[in-house]
Amino acid sequence: MKHWLSSFVRWFDLRLQLRESIGPMLRHPIPREVAGPVGWWYVFGSASLTLLVIQIVTGIGLALVYVPAADKAYDSLLYLTNQQPLGWFLRALHYYAGSGMVVMVLVHMTQVFLQGAYKYPRELTWIVGALLLVCTLGMFFTGQVLRWDPDAYWGLAVGGAIAARAPGVGSHLTQ
């Protein structure tokens, strides 16, 4: 049985070569000088990633029921929360993981900034991270609009009015 399983895994690995490409990444050690008392500073990036995976999985689940139309969105939200089996759980998980992801991303960036981990040769990592922060905050805003309750509706109005202050393209952005 064990032999059969290992040969099965080997068959795939000979073709996908995952052991060679992902293995070193997983085995990459925390540098000796930051391991020990500050070793746990390393988890915030992985925590953000874990929360993002939760967001994607629960988000796909919620999207199977949610209706993204202005006249039905709130009704489908009520159905999702009160009638759909475990819908309340998925929604709560999506909500808390979403808020947690913003918190974790900010903590992670603070850690990277304070410990100078954005310096050579990691400048591009920092720039990509800054873009991902904008994406995260953008999804944080658009996600709360999906609720389509009065809070979300007027939150969108305020967001639109803020966008209108942008010179030139402002009013087009809003409409």
Q: Work out how close the CB of 41 gets to another protein at its nearest, in angstroms, rounded to a whole number.
A: 38
Which one, 63 or 162, has the nearer CB to another protein?
162
Distance in angstroms (rounded) separating the CA atoms of residues 104 and 51:
9
Query: What's the closest the beta carbon of residue 83 comes to another protein, in angstroms?
Result: 20
Nearer to another protein, 128 or 162 (CB): 162
DSSP 69: S
Q: Which is nearer to another protein, 59 or 160 (CB)?
A: 160
Q: Say how many C-beta atoms besides its own lie within 10 A of residue 138's C-beta.
A: 10
For residue 41, the number of C-alpha atoms closer than 13 Å in the C-beta half-sphere is: 18
Nearest-approach distance from CB 157 to another protein, in angstroms = 4
**Residue 68 C-beta: closest distance to another protein, Å:** 10
DSSP 90: H
In the complex, the residues that contact another protein under the rule CB under 8 A are 69-72, 148, 153-154, 157-158, 160-162, 164-165, 170-172, 174-175
Contact 58, 93 (CB under 8 A): yes
Rounded Cα distance between 155 and 145, Å, is 7
